[in-house]
Amino acid sequence: MTIRILPVIETSPLTLPSELGFGRYFTDRMFTQRYAATTGWHDAVIGPYQPISLDPAAQVLHNGQMIFEGTKAYRRADGGVNLFRPDRNAARFNRSAQRMGMPEVPPELHIRAIETLVKLEARWVPGAPNTALYIRPTMIATEKDLAVRAPREFLHFIIASPVAPYFAGGFAPVAVYVPHDYVRAVRGGTGEAKTPGNYAGSIKATEEALALGYQQVLWLDAIERRYVDEVGAMNIAFVYDGTHLCTPALSGAILHGVTRESILVLARDLQLTVSEDRIDFLEVLADIERGRITEIFGMGTGAVIAPVGRLGYQGRDIAINDGEPGPVARRLFDELTGIQYGRLPDRHGWIRSVA
């Protein structure tokens, strides 16, 4: 399918604020295409970034049928722009679509839409260290109907936002609270899908964590409330004895993070042993006390690698690595971002140069 390109009045001059934050500014253009059960995907267009008009009875507003994604474009030192594993992003988008009963987007079209948008908006890719153009593909059910059933009309859109890392402190460790009263997802539910309900359900728990002086919530499994799932905005990894990296296995309730998947590869490259396991949080606490867990860090597209400095659990506040970022997180961060920003060779074929 051809993507039509409409004329757009561009922001001029473009001066990006020094404090970008995360998802506060948006480029001049967006991609949209529509789906109808009778015709499939059609009307692929890149036009002005603008509000979306929806019927108040649109199914997304009532049944919450919506999925989204996150991927980034990185400014290289030579002025060019890299995408990182857009094929994995397209695959996860379709995996979410399947789970939520939504139509898949041909991966080639998903990637071409991102590439074309980024090429047209290349001047919005920021150049300051660790900044990027965050790309947010999204799909919503637009059919006017309050019945809970598979809709026949959808809108797929892609917007883009110049961002700093998700956590304002950059590589400064985040404090993570482990709630006992709330859970995120159960196996067979929608925890593997990138769908807003997973995030909406986390907001109250995160607000409570913030009030206690923590920034994020670590979710335990929903049945026994004992095994580690993931953190609000990222997957999580534990480093044992400085040499072994362990992350929760993809249990059916955990997001299949592209950053997670990449870190596991890079950790093996760095001669760390790697495992994906069921991780008992009570054993984590014991292993921190014994000094066996030397680091904990989160990993995600928005968060990149975010060291965890403190854990809050049932009135206890537990420091990890004396609240400092650890050497394994640092080395993995340098490797990952080195590849993303083109400072290191792309030895795994993860980069797509778009400008």
Binding site for ligand COI (CB under 6 A): 70, 166, 233, 300-302
- What are the two backbone dihedrals, phi and then psi, of residue 293, each rounded to the nearest 5 degrees? -85, 115
Q: How far apart are CA 320 and CA 328, in angstroms?
A: 13
C-beta of residue 183 within 8 angstroms of C-beta of residue 219: yes
Closest among 279, 232, 277, 230 to 256, alpha carbons compared: 230
- Tokens matching residue 11: 């922001």
CB of 108 to ligand COI, least distance (A): 22
- Is the Cβ of residue 103 or residue 302 nearer to ligand COI in the bound state? 302
Nearest residue (beta carbon) to ligand COI: 70
CB of 85 to ligand COI, least distance (A): 12
Kind and range of the H or E run holding 133: strand 132-141
CB of 299 to ligand COI, least distance (A): 9
- Is the Cβ of residue 302 or residue 342 nearer to ligand COI in the bound state? 302
Q: How far apart are CA 345 and CA 80, in angstroms?
A: 15
- Is the Cβ of residue 45 or residue 250 nearer to ligand COI in the bound state? 250
List, in order, residues 6 or more apart from 271 with CB less than 8 Å away: none
CB of 15 to ligand COI, least distance (A): 25
- Is the Cβ of residue 70 or residue 179 nearer to ligand COI in the bound state? 70
Q: How far apart are CA 80 and CA 185, in angstroms?
A: 40
Q: How far apart are CA 216 and CA 178, in angstroms?
A: 9
Q: How far apart are CA 33 and CA 42, in angstroms?
A: 6
CB of 208 to ligand COI, least distance (A): 18
- Is the Cβ of residue 44 or residue 332 nearer to ligand COI in the bound state? 332
- Is the Cβ of residue 237 or residue 293 nearer to ligand COI in the bound state? 237
CB of 258 to ligand COI, least distance (A): 9
C-beta of residue 142 within 8 angstroms of C-beta of residue 105: no
Q: How far apart are CA 296 and CA 128, in angstroms?
A: 27
- Is the Cβ of residue 233 or residue 339 nearer to ligand COI in the bound state? 233
- Tokens matching residue 36: 């109808």
CB of 282 to ligand COI, least distance (A): 27
- Tokens matching residue 218: 């670590």
